């Protein structure tokens, strides 16, 4: 029996770059899984247009009209939250590969399994990394988009660990996600002379703010942009991207040791067969969702939603993407930690955690 795997995918709109990567990831997994077991899976997708109302309809269509067996979530927290509402209403298990916001796990949903590290733990290693590099670092500036749960969760995660490590938040600033001019934000950051700057917005926000910070020569020890974890950051900023730090859910150089599924080298080779020379984490985590589904199917012995949810709650294993373990009650991923990368001489270098680091944090930033 061929299992139909459905996915709302952002092929247009603001999330289309990551949405297309996620779709490429799940399609590569489909091909590789079927090479191992012919006709095991068939992927079906609909464009969600990076829009919450559209993703609700796309999710409903997949569940009700297409009668899919497996539902893979979209990219982005706002779209995942919308898809999860529909999935829960229809009793369909959602495999969350692209929505990092913690908020989706606070709704009491039973039909969700998290693949990626939640937003509140995106920058878990940042302040320990800075502290071991600079024992005197203290002031932190947190700058985030006012829209959505994701920016708030990332910054709250940093703020929550700051005092215990001897840091102090001196600026906690929100900006409109529609902003294009960050002159005032840049001035506010410069005025407080922070040792650490964390900025979290939409990709275009991060790029615009990173550019003005770099061009204006803000003095800081470490400057973090969530978008710095993807290749597009370097492609857009060029040499200005140097020394920016960003979180990454996965990097090819991390060398996790899988006890289920292909190695990272095999996954990368699969992507390259499709012409993808650069593999960012949105592509990898969608592929990883397919691997996790396979393992849970093997454990459950059935595509039944409850059987799969129970299997996911029991299992602890590792894939090329890292460790998998969920909180049995909420479905939240608790088994893995995000990486921190820094752009050094035109390439991403893993600087955290120490066990996977490829190099040291270059400090100060400017």
Tell me the pLDDT tens digit for each residue of 332-344: 999 998 999 999 9
pLDDT, tens digit (0-9, with 9 covering 90-100), for 187-210: 999 999 999 999 999 999 999 999
Percent of the chain with pLDDT over 70: 100
Would you say residue 170 has pLDDT above 90?
yes
Check: pTM over 0.85? Answer yes or no: yes
The alpha carbon dihedral of 83, 86, 89, 90 has a sign of: negative
**317 bridge partner residues:** 324
**Which token pair is 55?**
């993703």
pLDDT, tens digit (0-9, with 9 covering 90-100), for 282-296: 999 999 999 999 999
* For residues 238-246, average pLDDT: 97
Q: What is the pLDDT of residue 80?
A: 97
Q: How confident is the model at residue 322 (pLDDT cuts 50, 70, 90)?
A: very high
**Which token pair is 248?**
């990454």
**Which token pair is 340?**
């921190």
Q: What is the pLDDT of residue 365?
A: 93
Would you say residue 217 has pLDDT above 90?
no
Domains and CATH numbers, the chain: 3-117+253-324 (3.40.50.2300), 121-248+339-352 (3.40.50.2300)
The alpha carbon dihedral of 36, 64, 287, 105 has a sign of: negative
Q: What is the pLDDT of residue 201?
A: 94
Among residues 78, 69, 155, 173, which one has the least CA distance to residue 119?
Answer: 155
Q: How confident is the model at residue 278 (pLDDT cuts 50, 70, 90)?
A: confident
Would you say residue 54 has pLDDT above 90?
yes
**Which token pair is 241?**
């991207």
The alpha carbon dihedral of 285, 290, 296, 298 has a sign of: negative
* For residues 237-263, average pLDDT: 95
Angle at 213 between CA 235 and CA 181, to 5 degrees: 90
Q: What is the pLDDT of residue 64?
A: 98
Would you say residue 148 has pLDDT above 90?
no
The Cα 320–Cα 305 span in angstroms is 25
Would you say residue 358 has pLDDT above 90?
yes
Q: What is the pLDDT of residue 305?
A: 96
Q: What is the pLDDT of residue 166?
A: 96
The Cα 33–Cα 29 span in angstroms is 6
pLDDT, tens digit (0-9, with 9 covering 90-100), for 80-89: 999 999 999 9
Q: How many CB atoms lie within 10 A of CB 30?
A: 17
More confident residue, 217 or 131: 131
Q: What are residue 285's phi and psi, to 5 degrees? A: -75, -30
Q: What is the pLDDT of residue 300?
A: 98
Strands 347-352 and 339-344: antiparallel
pLDDT, tens digit (0-9, with 9 covering 90-100), for 73-121: 999 999 999 999 999 999 999 999 999 999 999 999 999 999 999 999 9
The Cα 5–Cα 20 span in angstroms is 16
* For residues 42-69, average pLDDT: 98
CA distance between the termini of the chain = 58
Q: Is 253 exposed, middle or buried (0-12, 13-18, 19+ CB in 10 A)?
A: middle
The Cα 199–Cα 190 span in angstroms is 14
CB contact at 8 A, 141 and 197: yes
Q: What is the pLDDT of residue 50?
A: 97
Q: What is the pLDDT of residue 308?
A: 98
**Average pLDDT in the chain:** 96
Tell me which DSSP letter residue 63 carries: I
The alpha carbon dihedral of 77, 24, 292, 93 has a sign of: positive
The alpha carbon dihedral of 337, 338, 343, 345 has a sign of: positive
* For residues 130-143, average pLDDT: 97
The number of residues in the chain equals 366
Residues ≥6 apart with Cβ < 8 Å to 57: none
Q: What is the pLDDT of residue 212?
A: 96
* For residues 219-231, average pLDDT: 95
Among residues 117, 185, 194, which one has the least CA distance to residue 162?
Answer: 194
Q: What is the pLDDT of residue 261?
A: 97
């Amino acid at each position: 029996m061929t299992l139909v795997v459905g996915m709302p995918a952002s092929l247009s709109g603001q999330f289309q770059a990551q949405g297309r990567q996620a779709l490429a990831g799940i399609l590569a997994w489909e091909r590789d899984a079927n090479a191992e077991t012919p006709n095991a899976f068939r992927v079906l997708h609909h464009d969600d247009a990076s829009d919450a109302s559209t993703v609700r309809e796309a999710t409903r269509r997949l569940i009700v009209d297409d009668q899919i067996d497996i539902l893979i979530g979209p990219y982005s927290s706002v779209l995942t939250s919308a898809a999860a509402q529909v999935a829960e209403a229809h009793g369909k298990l959602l495999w969350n590969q692209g929505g990092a916001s913690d908020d989706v796990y606070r709704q009491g949903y039973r039909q969700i399994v998290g693949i990626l590290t939640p937003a509140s733990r995106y920058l878990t290693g940042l302040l320990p990394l800075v502290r071991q590099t600079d024992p005197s670092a203290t002031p932190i500036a947190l700058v985030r988009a006012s829209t959505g749960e994701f920016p708030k969760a990332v910054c709250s995660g940093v703020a929550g660990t700051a005092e215990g490590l001897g840091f102090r938040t001196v600026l906690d600033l929100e900006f409109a996600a529609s902003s294009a001019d960050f002159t005032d934000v840049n001035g506010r950051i410069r005025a407080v002379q922070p040792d650490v700057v964390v900025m979290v917005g939409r990709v275009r926000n991060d790029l615009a703010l990173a550019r003005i910070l770099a061009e204006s020569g803000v003095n800081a020890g470490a400057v973090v942009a969530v978008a710095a974890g993807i290749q597009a950051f370097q492609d857009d900023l060029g040499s200005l991207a140097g020394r920016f730090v960003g979180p990454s859910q996965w990097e090819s150089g991390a060398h996790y040791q899988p006890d289920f599924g292909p190695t990272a080298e095999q996954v990368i080779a699969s992507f390259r067969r499709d012409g993808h020379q650069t593999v960012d984490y949105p592509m990898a985590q969608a592929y990883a969702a397919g691997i996790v589904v396979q393992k849970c199917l093997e454990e459950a012995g059935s595509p039944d939603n409850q059987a799969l949810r129970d299997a996911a709650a029991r299992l602890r294993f590792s894939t090329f993407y890292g460790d998998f373990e969920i909180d049995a009650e909420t479905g939240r991923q608790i088994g893995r930690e995000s990486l921190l990368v820094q752009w050094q001489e035109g390439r991403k270098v893993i600087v955290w955690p120490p066990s996977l680091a490829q190099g040291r944090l270059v400090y100060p930033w400017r």
